Structure 1
Amino acid sequence: MSEPATINPRIVESLYCEGLVLSDEVRDAFSFSGRLDKVGEEEDLARVALSCEGLRTTTRMMHAVAWLLNHRAYFMGELSEFQLRRHGRLAPDRSESDPEQLALLSPETRELVRATQRFYQRLVRLDRGWRQRDAGAPSAISALRERLERRVNG
């Protein structure tokens, strides 16, 4: 098995820039201006599909950018590692797309949804690897107990 992923400021900055570009593309793709003037049942279904996928995709990207911002804050010294580990966890992407709804979207929009899913999965793998990196290290409580024992017995 390969070594767990490490995260460094350069990787976070690169992913942050990529995430912002992807977020702008998502905003543009799911903007409703000029799309609500059509009428008919098929157009209604397409609007519902666009709304649902838009919500899923923008939520996915908001979580991704928030995770990246937390890591930027950590590397800038604004968050401790304890704070980052406690509050900076990236949840698995649970927002599965409905294939029937995806089929109603344009090919470009479907590809954008897939691109955000791939981006998010990359972040999940990085987060998991970073958290597993020190999984064998003693917890803060264990470290404190050891220090107390050394003082008492030492």
Structure 2
Amino acid sequence: MFQTSRPDACLTTKLIDSLYCEALVLADEARSAFEETDITLSPRETLALSCESLKVTTRLMQVIAWLLNQKAYRAGELTLDELHTEERSLGYAVASDEELVALLRAGPAYLARQSEDLYYRVHRMAARLKGTYREQQPVHDLHDRLERAF
């Protein structure tokens, strides 16, 4: 396996920009798709639409915030230690409920699935970067062991 001194070497500027663009496009599509109101929706369908709208928005905002932090680091606005603080980590986002997604029209259902796919791709990258960063910081290993002990 290729070793590098930079824990973020696998996350190129081109990849960050591509993911950022994808997230912005999905956010714009979601805004349009979830704004459309259909007076023929049942109360259960209306609830499903509201829940999934919130989940999609949360997922996309978490991804966008994380990518903006990555951009700030590459622009020299954050140090590596600042980048890897808990406040700048990828936030938690609730998964969609497939039963509720099945009740949605094609557009919102597609966006729910696409936002989940994007979130999980970024989540895997964030976990990999965090793991690589922590390997290079022995103090984090000590902190983790102390946390588990108490």
Q: TM-score, normalised by structure 2?
A: 0.78
Aligned equivalents of 2:129, 2:98: Cα separation in 1: 33
Give the conservation status (yes or no) of the 8 Å contact 2:69–2:83.
yes
RMSD: 2.6
Q: Give the direction of change, closer, same or farther, for the CA distance of 1:97–1:141 in structure 2 (3 Å limit).
A: closer
Aligned equivalents of 1:15, 1:97: Cα separation in 2: 20
Residue 22 (structure 1) aligned to one of 23, 26, 47: 26
| Runs (5+) with no aligned partner, structure 1 | 143-154
Aligned equivalents of 2:97, 2:136: Cα separation in 1: 41
> Who is 2:60 aligned against?
61
Residue 131 (str. 1) matches residue 135 (str. 2): no
DSSP-derived class of the 2:42 partner: helix
> Who is 2:75 aligned against?
76
| Runs (5+) with no aligned partner, structure 2 | 142-150
Give the conservation status (yes or no) of the 8 Å contact 1:91–1:124.
no
Percent identity reads 35
> Who is 1:7 aligned against?
11
Alignment: residue pair count = 136
For the pair shown, the structure with the greater C-alpha radius of gyration is: 1
Runs of 4+ in 1 over 3 A off after TM superposition: 1-5, 138-142
Q: TM-score, normalised by structure 1?
A: 0.77
